[in-house]
């Protein structure tokens, strides 16, 4: 505590749009930021015996802290960067207590220049553009369910991995290659590595940052094409229950351009997940082996104090399983009311989830969710 006090007393404190910067000398600094999403949802479905309880029936109303994030980053020395993200998400959801504050990300990065950076620690799986876009930079209310079908790394939250990552930019080309612990192998005593990575090429303005944005709100004109992969041996089980491999790949495109009246955005992606088992389910009961795609179209008005950004998103998931409720479709319509870009906004969203063949439980039947979310970032 004494050391922290000395640093704060000797530091130059600067407030800016990205948070607060504490400087400790010419080449050492810490940046602190905070982000919050407060979500209200009304779900509508066939009323069951426990209507009003979202853990049993689809008819419910809820208000909770969707995301509460503290971000700390900076430079410890020239070419040595660090980042830490603490999360207290879903506090108050469905009458449940929060699971507490967790370390979502934490890494140290050696930066030898734009073309080559090495990162060690806990970081997002380097797979899809959507998962590598901050949820505070998304156009729609939240990520599509198809992005949640990835392998979970054991004891980590939010589709993260712990390991090493090499990444960089060469002109309009960006590459990422990571190797980590991934999920605990399904074979006792086995050790396997999770490999994941991604590349993209920017044909207009470049996207050089570690995290993407779905909208640059008029700051860039982009046309970016990307590809990602993710795999780990013995991380799944086959139909006989024996250890088997997991692999996935995705291809995506993002376009955004300024017009005289506003900004037009289009983001689309295709996904293929192979768990070596068509009947494989995740902890939420979703069938995770199959193929699908999603597309989001948005337009934003340009105003001095913010603007309005209506959007539409369509998601298709075709599971390999023939079981009822395995495949699904999702249509979301909404708009962002921008008070200060994405740093302060309100989101209004209506999503209709349907199933080509409905299942037996309420979450496998056609239903809708109406949402309103407050968001701040600094």
DSSP secondary structure, 220-271, as one string: --EEEEEEEEEEEEEEEE-TTS-EEEEEEEEEEEEEEEE-SSEEEEEEEEEE
pLDDT averaged over every residue in the chain: 91
Task: Determine the Cα–Cα distance for residues 209 and 348; give it in Å rounded to an integer.
Answer: 28
Query: For domain 2-377, which architecture applies?
Result: Beta Barrel (2.40)
pLDDT at 351 over 90: yes
CA gap 164, 156 in Å, rounded: 15
Read off the pLDDT of each residue in 136-149 and give the average, rounded to a whole number: 96
- Is residue 54 scored above 80 in pLDDT? no
- Paired with 200 in beta bridges are 174, 226
CB burial class (10 A; 0-12, 13-18, 19+) of residue 170? Answer: exposed
pLDDT in tens, 65-75: 999 999 999 99
Question: For residue 369, which phi and psi values (nearest 5 degrees)?
Answer: -135, 125
Predicted local distance difference test score (pLDDT) of residue 284 = 86
Res. 181: pLDDT tops 50: yes
- Report in angstroms the alpha-carbon separations of 23 from 12, 27, 31, 32, 74: 5, 8, 9, 11, 9
Rounded to a whole number of angstroms, the CA Rg of the chain reads 21
Mean of pLDDT values over 90-102? 82
* Mean pLDDT score, 137-166: 96
For residue range 251-283, what is the model confidence (pLDDT) as tens digits?
999 999 998 889 999 999 999 999 999 999 998
Q: What is the pLDDT of residue 4?
A: 44
Query: Which pLDDT score is estimated for 302?
Result: 78
How many helices (H) and strands (E) would you count in the chain? 1, 18
């Amino acid at each position: 505590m004494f050391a922290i006090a000395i640093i704060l007393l000797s530091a130059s404190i600067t407030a800016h749009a990205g948070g607060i910067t504490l400087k400790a000398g010419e080449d050492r600094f810490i940046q602190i930021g905070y982000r919050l999403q407060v979500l209200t949802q009304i779900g509508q479905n066939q009323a069951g015996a426990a209507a009003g309880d979202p853990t049993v029936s689809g008819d419910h109303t809820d208000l909770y802290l969707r995301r509460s994030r503290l971000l700390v980053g900076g430079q410890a020395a020239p070419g040595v960067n660090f980042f830490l993200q603490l999360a207290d998400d879903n506090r108050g959801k469905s009458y449940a207590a929060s699971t507490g504050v967790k370390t979502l990300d934490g890494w140290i990065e050696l930066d030898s220049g734009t073309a080559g950076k090495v990162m060690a620690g806990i970081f997002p799986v380097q797979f899809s553009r959507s998962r590598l876009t901050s949820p505070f930079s998304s156009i729609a209310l939240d990520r599509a369910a198809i992005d949640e079908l990835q392998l979970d790394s054991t004891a980590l939250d939010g589709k993260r991995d712990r390991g090493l990552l090499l990444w960089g930019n060469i002109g309009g080309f960006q590459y990422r290659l990571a190797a980590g612990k991934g999920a605990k192998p399904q074979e006792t005593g086995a050790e396997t590595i999770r490999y994941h990575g991604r590349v993209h090429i920017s044909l207009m303005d470049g996207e050089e940052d570690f995290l993407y944005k779905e909208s640059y709100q008029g700051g860039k004109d982009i046309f970016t094409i990307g590809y990602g992969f993710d795999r780990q041996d013995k991380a799944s089980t086959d139909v006989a229950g024996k250890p088997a491999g997991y692999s996935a790949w995705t291809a995506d495109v993002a376009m955004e351009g300024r017009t005289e009246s506003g900004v037009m955005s289009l983001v689309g992606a295709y996904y293929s997940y192979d768990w070596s088992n068509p009947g494989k389910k995740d902890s939420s009961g979703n069938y995770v082996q199959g193929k699908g795609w999603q597309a989001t179209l948005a337009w934003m008005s340009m105003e001095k104090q913010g603007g309005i950004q209506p959007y539409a998103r369509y998601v298709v998931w075709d599971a390999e399983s023939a079981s009822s409720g395995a495949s699904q479709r999702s249509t979301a319509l909404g708009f962002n009311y921008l008070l200060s870009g994405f740093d302060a906004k309100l989101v209004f969203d209506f999503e209709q989830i349907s199933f080509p063949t409905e299942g037996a439980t309420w979450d496998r039947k056609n239903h809708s969710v109406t949402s309103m979310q407050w968001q701040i970032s600094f």
